[in-house]
Amino acid sequence: MSAVDLEMSRHRISVLLSTCTAYELLPESGKVIALDVNLPVKQAFHILYEQGIPLAPLWDFGKGQF
């Protein structure tokens, strides 16, 4: 992936996240998963894939907030 492609992808993600609320990004199925911030990235992606969920909020247990 070139630097231009990477920057383009980052920009698109940034635009999406700045125009949507967290509730709009949740699936209508009612299935919600929150991932711990200390979870290894590879494991987090595996969980998302297994559950068929494209994204999940991150939970910081130490701070008690998403």
**H-helix or E-strand spanning residue 53:** none
How many domains does the chain fold into? 1
User: Per the domain annotation, does 65 fall within a domain?
Assistant: no
User: Per the domain annotation, does 39 fall within a domain?
Assistant: yes
User: Per the domain annotation, does 18 fall within a domain?
Assistant: yes
User: Per the domain annotation, does 19 fall within a domain?
Assistant: yes
Domain region containing 38? 3-59
Written as tens digits, the pLDDT of the chain (66 aa) is 899 999 999 999 899 888 888 777 776 766 778 999 999 999 999 999 998 888 899 999 999 999
Secondary-structure breakdown of the chain: helix, strand, coil percentages, each rounded to the nearest 5: 50, 10, 40
User: Per the domain annotation, does 37 fall within a domain?
Assistant: yes
pTM of the full predicted structure? Answer: 0.50
User: Per the domain annotation, does 66 fall within a domain?
Assistant: no
Say if CB 34 and CB 2 are below 8 A apart: no
